[in-house]
Structure 1
Amino acid sequence: MGETTDGSGGTVTETERVRGIGERVSLAGGAVAGVGAYLIGYLATYVTQSGAVRDRLAGLNALASLFGGDPVAAWQGVGWYFYNAHFVATVVPSFGGTRTVDLIASADASVGYLYVLPPLALFVAGAAVAFLDGASDPTDGALAALGVVPAYFVLALAGAFLFAYGAGDAGSVHPEYVTAALLAGLVYPVVFGGIGGAVGGVVGGD
């Protein structure tokens, strides 16, 4: 087991170093902030886009009704937009298989601001966690904000399945599962939550 010297001249084992880092992660506050960031991001998307989503789904729902299928609910379609805002593509059935689409990119350019919502929500969440945890420098703040990651990851993964419409690989419309887990669930909260946490640490240290 490797050892390093601490600031007082003593030695710190690698296990103690890892434990020390883990203790600086704010899991309780991060869980609340992670859930809040996900829900606020989704709700902001719903409030601003539910009407447009209903309009875009009208043709698909008419076709579904014609063949006795259930209509796509607006909250599901908004979910596709929400994951597209994380750059997670939507998988749709196609002849001979499936294809992926980005509904935001194919919509009016005025909805491009949706790409900003998840990073902004996570930035605020990370900053709040770091500030409330008493972080006094950027490193402590970024570490504290890592507590946002587990809750956001669980919701990002669960939501990818929750927003699926249809059944079976060929007949299901859903956010791309792997990208939803890795990009939306891990990269986004680590990067943007961490940046927010670092800023919160700077503010807390002043």
Structure 2
Amino acid sequence: MVAKIDYQVPWFSGLILGVISFGMTFMLIHEFVSYGYQWTTMVDLESWQIDSWFVFSAHHVPVSQTASSGSETMAIGDNMNLIKESRSQFNFLYLIPPIPTFIGGLLLADSVGGKHSAGYSFLNGAFIAIGYLVTSIGLAWFSAESTSGLGVSMRIGPSLVESFLVAGLAYPIVFGGLGGLAHYVVRNLS
């Protein structure tokens, strides 16, 4: 006989808290970067684009430069991590993304409630990946700068694949899940 597991996937709550967690990450990084970084490049960029690239750099997602002509795409130059380029001025930014994702996972596990095991609590917290993924892919797409001419198009911006895998999935699953697990531990200690 197989035991029936009563579990509801927190889709909507995961979407909302994931978007909020990513938004908090963006706002915190923006506050630190906007007062101390000057960007010089041949491409005109808005300040929110530079802030976005710092957000992805804090998630270990590189800013890449690519050129396409016809069906061929090639990388131009090295991938950049703006935090590494800042020469330790902003190294503390690596610590920011785990904090909102942890808190989001904790809040999501709390909103689901119920008497679940540690594994289910981890899973509940990890569901912030739904909103975090949508937001990170959208920001990676819209923060990129593209130009074209003479049959060649160029793009500079966060790597979309790494934005999906690292920023969109790995960070919220790991740190959101740990937040859910922390909720389980705290709830069972009392």
- The normalised TM-score by structure 2 is 0.84
CA shift digits 1:142-166 (9 cap, x unpaired): 1211321111111111111111012
1:193 aligns to what?
Answer: 176
1:120 aligns to what?
Answer: 99
Q: Structure 1 residues 96, 174: closer, same or farther in 2, change over 3 A? A: closer
For 2:8 and 2:120, how far apart are their aligned partners in 1? 7
For 1:42 and 1:82, how far apart are their aligned partners in 2? 6
For 1:175 and 1:120, how far apart are their aligned partners in 2? 22
For 1:52 and 1:72, how far apart are their aligned partners in 2? 16
Confirm whether residue 11 of structure 1 aligns to residue 18 of structure 2.
no
CA RMSD, 1 decimal: 2.3
Equivalent residue runs for 1:147-158 within 5 Å? 147-158=127-138
Q: Is the 8 A contact 2:146 2:153 kept in 1?
A: no
For 1:106 and 1:100, how far apart are their aligned partners in 2? 11
CA shift digits 1:63-120 (9 cap, x unpaired): 45xxxxxx21011011111001000001136998342011101213131111111111
Q: CA deviation at 1:125?
A: 0.5
1:3 aligns to what?
Answer: none
Confirm whether residue 82 of structure 1 aligns to residue 55 of structure 2.
yes
1:181 aligns to what?
Answer: 164
For 1:96 and 1:45, how far apart are their aligned partners in 2? 27
Q: 1:139 aligns with which of 119, 123, 126?
A: 119
SS at match of 1:32: helix
Alignment: residue pair count: 179
Equivalent residue runs for 1:41-80 within 5 Å? 41-53=25-37, 55=38, 57=39, 59-60=40-41, 63-64=42-43, 71-80=44-53
Please list every run of 5 or more consecutive structure 1 residues that lacks an aligned counterpart in the other structure: 1-9, 65-70
For 2:31 and 2:83, how far apart are their aligned partners in 1? 15
Q: CA deviation at 1:24?
A: 4.0
- Structure with the larger helix share: 1
Q: Structure 1 residues 144, 96: closer, same or farther in 2, change over 3 A? A: closer
2:71 aligns to what?
Answer: none
User: Counterpart of 1:124 in structure 2: which amino acid?
Assistant: I
Question: Between the two proteins, what is the percent identity of the paired residues?
Answer: 23
Which range is displaced more, 176-185 or 130-139? 130-139
**Which structure has the bigger radius of gyration?**
1
1:25 aligns to what?
Answer: 9
CA shift digits 1:36-76 (9 cap, x unpaired): 110000011111102333x2x2x32xx45xxxxxx210110
User: Counterpart of 2:125 in structure 1: which amino acid?
Assistant: A
- The normalised TM-score by structure 1 is 0.78
Q: Is the 8 A contact 1:133 1:144 kept in 2?
A: yes
